[in-house]
Structures are given as C-alpha cells and as structure tokens.
Amino acid sequence: MAAKPPVPPFTRESAITKVRLAEDAWNTRNPEQVSLAYTVDSRWRNRAEFVEGRAEIVAFLTRKWTREQDYRLIKELWAFTENRIAVRFAYECHDDSGNWFRSYGNENWEFDDEGLMRVRLACINDLPITEEERRYHWPLGRRPDDHPGLSDLGF
C-alpha cells in the first residue's frame, strides 16, 4: 500500500499540511479518491453512523455528497501528537430543496506509520442558514489559498 505523506511522527508544519491535504481531497467530492487516504480497515464514527473499511467509506461519501450539494469545506488544525491529529471544521452545502446549512464539527484522527488514517471520529452540528449568510463562495473544488480560513471567518 502506498504511503500518504506526510507520515508520523507529525510536527506542527506536517500536521498543518496533512489537514490541508484532507480538506483538498474532501473538496473534490470524489469518494474513491478520498477513500485512498484511509487504511483498508479504517474505522469511522461520523455523527451516529459507524463505517468500517474503504468500501463502506466510498458508500458513505457517495450518499453524503448526493444529499449535501455544492459542498465546500474548510478544516483547521486544533492539536497533534506523534500519530494523531485533532481538527475543527465547517462546511456549507444545500439539500435538494435548496435549503442551505453550515455544519460545524471536530474530528480526531489516528494514522498508521504510512500516513494512512486508520481511525476517524467526527462530531458534527448543523445550522440552517440563508443563502445570504453563506461565507464560502469559491468555485467548487479546492479552496483558494487566499480564501480566509475558519479563524479568519470567526468560526
């Protein structure tokens, strides 16, 4: 299995890079591509849903991005140790009725020696917003480098 640098042990700089790479991958909204950052037996808790392995990750993300349209995500490093990273994040999306949401959350990640994530624990809260309250307006895909991060936006 191919390594996914940066690999543990993490420094502040490599942890920030790992978080941005995860954000970039999720903003592709490509479940197969995203799943390659996780071990084949990766375990997730996402809200109250439990996911295990890459096939379930792909199925979960496919359902997620079908339901959460025009999805745009920002992640920010919160803390790190040798092989663990804690992040906070917020994303904006709308449902098929055009109702917009901003979802806030925290994730705890644990990595293997190759830099693949083997555990992902996510807690997420949804806030209905109006279209006028949206703060993420970049074209779908990677967040531009000059777009404000979570702290800059006051999130």
The contacts of residue 87 (CB under 8 Å, 6+ apart) are 19, 22, 75, 76, 77, 78, 106, 107, 109
CA distances from 130 to 73, 97, 149 (A): 17, 13, 20
pLDDT in tens, 14-29: 999 999 999 999 999 9
Residues of the chain with pLDDT under 70: 1
Residues 6+ apart with CB under 8 A from 154: none
Domains of the chain: 12-137+148-153 (3.10.450.50)
Q: What is the pLDDT of residue 59?
A: 98
**What distance in Å separates the CA atoms of residue 61 and residue 68, rounded to the nearest whole number?**
10
What is the model's pLDDT at position 72?
98
- pLDDT given at position 2: 84
Provide the pLDDT for residue 26. 98
Tens digits of per-residue pLDDT, 101-119?
999 999 999 999 999 999 9
Which pLDDT belongs to residue 1? 66
